[in-house]
Amino acid sequence: MRGGVFGRLAELDLFHKIAYVHGVDCIDDPLAKYRAHRESNTLKDYSIIAYERDLVSGG
């Protein structure tokens, strides 16, 4: 973990900090697509990502 709560979900950590200070609104439409390839850290270290996701969701 580098400087924040999360290691692999560093962007999520950043967005949580921004939302805490400035607030956010939600929209229903997707703004981006997420892609994972065989060599991506998403697939290689999925257990870490799942653990951090559970921290966020309280699960």
CA distances from 28 to 25, 31, 41, 48, 49 (A): 10, 9, 28, 28, 24
3-state SS, residue 10: helix
Q: Specify the pTM.
A: 0.43
Q: What is the pLDDT of residue 5?
A: 62
In one-letter notation, the amino acid at residue 15 is: F
Mean pLDDT in residue range 2-17: 72
Nearest to 51 by CA among 59, 39, 43: 59
* Calpha distance 31→29 (Å, rounded): 6
Q: Does 1 score more than 50 pLDDT?
A: no
Summarised one tens digit per residue, pLDDT across range 18-53 is 888 998 888 899 888 777 677 776 667 777 777 877
